[in-house]
Amino acid sequence: MKALVASDLAILGGPPAFDEPLHVGRPNIGDRRMFLGLIEDMLDRRWLTNNGPYVARFEAQVAEYLGVRHCIAMCNGTVALEIAIRALELKGEVIVPSFTFIATAHALQWQEITPVFCDIDPQTHTIDPDRVEELITPRTSGIIGVHLWGHPCAVRRLDEITRRRRLTLMYDASHAFGCRVGGIKVGNFGRAEVFSFHATKFMNCLEGGAVVTNDDALARKIRLMKNFGFSGYDNVVYIGTNGKMNEASAAMGLTNLASIDAFIAANRRNQHHYATGLAGLPGVRLMPCDPRETVNAQYVVAEIDARECPLGRDEVLAALHAENVLARRYFWPGCHRMEPYRSYFPHASLMLPRTEEVAGRVLVLPNGSSIGPDEIGIICAIVRSALGQADLVRGALTRKAA
Ligand code: T4K
């Protein structure tokens, strides 16, 4: 690809490289005809929600794919987290990473359980097992690990710590559908794991989520809880909520499950093109995508290290946005710097140096089945060109801000 010159870059006055915005989180969509056929049947049957046949089929297929005993489908990942937390009777304090989507922390605080933020391992961006034990107090009831970007947590270490300290372990596996640890699929670790099937996720149900577990009694309880606590007609045995997945969402889930291998192949191909296109740029590191452990490859995570890179992360972000490449700085600035947590724990950042560093470096780039090598070639050329003309780009940004 030819090098872009100064006048080509939108931030320096050229037209944007893409006419339409290129989003991070553009949905992976399987076979349209299959989806529309399922929707037609659903309308003919007039059964739209409340444990319909598509939800039952979706749950069975997910459980089989993951090799787990139970899948309880839900309306979204946040409600699935809330229900799993409640069913596991977590209380007091629960240790979680701050470097995650805000829903992980909110699902606790919503139930008046205090999230205690733990630092991360800067290599994997997941909770650092070496930092967990110093946060355990008499009020601690459990740990929620987050398999961020689909990179599994240190599951064996966390299992050992929680057994020894008699704590409950569960995972927010929202990013990790289809990912494995030593051949075992995520979904089989801790007492329960929670997936999000939001539109932006590797595997989407429009909106959706699920709790998966190998614990029969827990699965029974969660099933009741997601349906107001009803055990048959007219009989409520628990406090419950409405966490049910609807049939249209399950139809989307069934459609996308049928295309999962194609999604993985597209993501892997894209990761390879990004790795080639960004290779050798000073201070730009692409998080490696290890096919033995992380198979969904959904998130393309670049780290821009301001000590070596001619531009800072936010400057690269601005250059990309000017070209209509809507990269994201997920999960900046960390939950501990958002309300209500920053008011509750004003000094939390002192305990979270790795979280602070990583949150300041990460740039998530567009991926998924809707983009391919041509778009990625242009995205990489924009980054390369912006870094090659760093002074001009910085000057343009300063003028824009003035
Ligand atoms: N735990 C973790 C670790 C999570 O990452 C999440 C969700 C949860 C728990 C909670 O699960 P859910 O309750 O959501 O099932 C988005 C998603 O809404 C959220 O599901 C996701 N994490 C998070 C990482 O990303 P925002 O605030 O970034 O959404 P928004 O509207 O800015 O959209 C993201 C990008 O996707 C944009 O670039 C636009 C694009 N997009 C979005 C939608 C909905 C599309 O191209 N098409 C679409 O249909 O949170």
Domain co-membership, 243 together with 316: no
Using CA atoms, how far apart are residues 216 and 398, in angstroms rounded to an integer? 59
Residue nearest ligand 1's atom 16 by CA: 200
User: For residue 288, what pLDDT is reported?
Assistant: 87
Confidence of residue 6 (pLDDT cuts 50, 70, 90): low
Using CA atoms, how far apart are residues 362 and 369, in angstroms rounded to an integer? 22
Paired tokens of 188: 């089989």
Confidence of residue 182 (pLDDT cuts 50, 70, 90): confident
Half-sphere exposure of 392 (CA within 13 A, CB side): 14
pLDDT in tens, 132-172: 999 999 999 999 999 999 999 999 999 999 999 999 999 99
Are 371 and 350 spatial neighbours (Cβ–Cβ below 8 Å)?
Answer: no
Local structure of residue 242 (DSSP, 8 states): B
Paired tokens of 372: 């391919």
Whether 354 is covered by a domain: the verdict is: no
- Hey, what amino acid is at 182? G
* Ligand 1 centroid from CA 198, angstroms: 7
pLDDT over 60 at 195, yes or no: yes
Domain co-membership, 204 together with 271: no
Domain co-membership, 274 together with 376: yes
* Ligand 1 centroid from CA 51, angstroms: 25
Among residues 330, 326, 314, which one has the least CA distance to residue 394? 314
Looking from the CA of residue 78, the nearest atom of ligand 1 is 13
Using CA atoms, how far apart are residues 319 and 394, in angstroms rounded to an integer? 10
* Ligand 1 centroid from CA 209, angstroms: 12
pLDDT over 70 at 1, yes or no: no
Half-sphere exposure of 323 (CA within 13 A, CB side): 24
Confidence of residue 291 (pLDDT cuts 50, 70, 90): low
Whether 251 is covered by a domain: the verdict is: yes
Confidence of residue 5 (pLDDT cuts 50, 70, 90): low
User: For residue 359, what pLDDT is reported?
Assistant: 98
Over pLDDT 90: what percentage of the chain? 93
Looking from the CA of residue 197, the nearest atom of ligand 1 is 15
Whether 25 is covered by a domain: the verdict is: no
CATH at residue 294: 3.90.1150.10
pLDDT over 80 at 3, yes or no: no
- Determine how β-strand 140-146 pairs with β-strand 168-172: parallel
* Ligand 1 centroid from CA 138, angstroms: 35
User: Domain containing 314: what range?
Assistant: 260-327+366-401
User: For residue 150, what pLDDT is reported?
Assistant: 95
Looking from the CA of residue 207, the nearest atom of ligand 1 is 15
**How many domains does the chain divide into?**
2
- Of 257, 283, 310, the one marking the end of a domain is 257
User: For residue 289, what pLDDT is reported?
Assistant: 81
pLDDT in tens, 204-216: 999 999 999 999 9
Whether 353 is covered by a domain: the verdict is: no
- Of 200, 223, 257, the one marking the end of a domain is 257
pLDDT in tens, 337-388: 999 999 999 999 999 999 999 999 999 999 999 999 999 999 999 999 999 9
pLDDT in tens, 257-268: 999 999 999 999
Domain co-membership, 52 together with 135: yes
- Determine how β-strand 284-286 pairs with β-strand 300-304: antiparallel
Calculate the alpha carbon distances from 178 to 78, 114, 344 in Å. Answer: 19, 30, 36
Whether 340 is covered by a domain: the verdict is: no
Place of tokens 């990912």: 179
Confidence of residue 78 (pLDDT cuts 50, 70, 90): very high
Q: In testing the pocket of ligand 1, which one of 200, 331, 371 has its CB within 8 Å of the most ligand atoms?
A: 200
pLDDT over 90 at 292, yes or no: no
Using CA atoms, how far apart are residues 91 and 86, in angstroms rounded to an integer? 8
Looking from the CA of residue 107, the nearest atom of ligand 1 is 9
Domain co-membership, 238 together with 274: no
Domain co-membership, 304 together with 171: no
Domain co-membership, 44 together with 115: yes
Using CA atoms, how far apart are residues 181 and 186, in angstroms rounded to an integer? 7
> Can you list the alpha helix ranges (DSSP code H) found in 279-344?
313-322, 341-344
Domain co-membership, 250 together with 285: no
CATH at residue 162: 3.40.640.10
Looking from the CA of residue 25, the nearest atom of ligand 1 is 36
Residue nearest ligand 1's atom 24 by CA: 101
Residue nearest ligand 1's atom 36 by CA: 25
Confidence of residue 69 (pLDDT cuts 50, 70, 90): very high
Confidence of residue 251 (pLDDT cuts 50, 70, 90): very high
Contacting residues for 401 by C-beta, under 8 A, at least 6 apart: none
Paired tokens of 212: 């998966």
What is the spatial order of strands in the sheet that 93-97 belongs to? Answer: 70-74, 209-213, 192-196, 168-172, 140-146, 93-97, 114-118
Place of tokens 């107001």: 228
Residue nearest ligand 1's atom 23 by CA: 101
- Of 201, 225, 257, the one marking the end of a domain is 257
Whether 312 is covered by a domain: the verdict is: yes
Whether 336 is covered by a domain: the verdict is: no
Pocket (CB within 6 angstroms of ligand 1)? 23-27, 76-78, 100-101, 103-104, 146, 172, 174-175, 196, 198-200, 209, 326, 330
Using CA atoms, how far apart are residues 353 and 337, in angstroms rounded to an integer? 13
* Ligand 1 centroid from CA 274, angstroms: 22
